[in-house]
């Protein structure tokens, strides 16, 4: 009897070319690595479906994926085997059996991404995990500017997506300073490719007076793929939380 499982997973994106598997099997992706692990355990070709596709170098604290299998061993034994075989930069956090209609992408209610910026001195040991901005950020100024992105809008100008529907809803943007670090939290029902990185890049340009509030709204009111141009590096971005 076929079963459907939902798995929560974290990963260090530094050595991956993103989440989605590629036609070239030599390209290392999170999806292909996990599918290889599961296929080895279940002795059947196993396809997984994630809550979203993270780009190259992007990390995840709380990614979710589901898969279907006819594998008959107990869930606890299955999960134990997954933990034994997981690559060193992937960590399986939990597993649960779900209804066959469950879909990691389409069943999700909302997700939160975190973007981390270092405003202090360059830290070589964090270069793969935090954007090394290395200059002060006016938190009050960016909080005010970020309000322009909240709500249901056409984010095509802040995306490299090929999606036909570029309307997305951002519920909340929270900007927090912790010592030398500024943390940007974005919560919404879904995000386009590069959308958060382009919004962060635009906000950092605004911090340096390279982009105005009028510019921000112009790109929202006149959607054209990638026209806002600014894009922060992938290393500072984390899929932080998925809610079902």
As annotated, the active-site residues are 55
Q: Phi and psi at residue 202, in whole multiples of 5°?
A: -65, -40
The span from the first CA to the last CA of the chain, in angstroms, equals 25
Write the DSSP symbol of residue 162: -
Altogether, the residues listed in the chain come to a count of 244
Surface-to-core class of residue 159, CB atoms within 10 Å of its CB (0-12 exposed, 13-18 middle, 19+ buried): buried
Question: CA 186 to CA 114: how far, in whole Å?
Answer: 6
Q: Give the gyration radius of the chain's Cα atoms.
A: 19
Question: CA 111 to CA 117: how far, in whole Å?
Answer: 20
Residues 62, 239 contacting (CB under 8 angstroms): yes
Q: Confirm whether residue 244 is marked as ligand binding.
A: no
What residues form the annotated binding site? Answer: 113
What residues form the annotated binding site for substrate? Answer: 113
């Amino acid at each position: 009897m076929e079963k459907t499982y939902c798995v929560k997973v974290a990963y260090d994106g530094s050595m991956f070319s993103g989440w989605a598997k590629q036609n070239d099997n030599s390209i290392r992706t999170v999806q292909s690595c996990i599918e290889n692990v599961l296929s080895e355990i279940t002795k059947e070709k196993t396809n997984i479906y994630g809550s979203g596709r993270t780009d190259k170098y992007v990390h995840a604290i709380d990614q979710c994926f589901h898969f279907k299998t006819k594998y008959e061993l107990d869930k606890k034994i299955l999960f134990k085997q997954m933990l034994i075989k997981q690559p060193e930069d992937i960590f399986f956090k939990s597993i649960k059996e779900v209804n066959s209609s469950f879909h990691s992408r389409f069943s999700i209610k909302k997700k939160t991404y975190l973007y981390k910026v270092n405003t202090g001195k360059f830290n070589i040991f964090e270069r793969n995990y935090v954007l090394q901005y290395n200059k002060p950020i006016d938190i009050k100024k960016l909080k005010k500017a970020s309000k322009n992105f909240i709500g249901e809008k056409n984010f095509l100008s802040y995306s490299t997506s090929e999606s036909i529907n570029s309307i997305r809803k951002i519920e909340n943007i929270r900007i927090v300073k912790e010592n030398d670090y500024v943390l940007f939290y974005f919560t919404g029902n879904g995000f386009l490719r590069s959308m958060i990185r382009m919004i962060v890049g635009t906000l950092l340009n605004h911090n340096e007076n390279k982009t105005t509030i009028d510019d921000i709204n112009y790109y929202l009111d006149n959607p054209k793929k990638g026209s806002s141009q600014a894009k922060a590096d992938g290393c500072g971005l984390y899929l932080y939380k998925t809610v079902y």
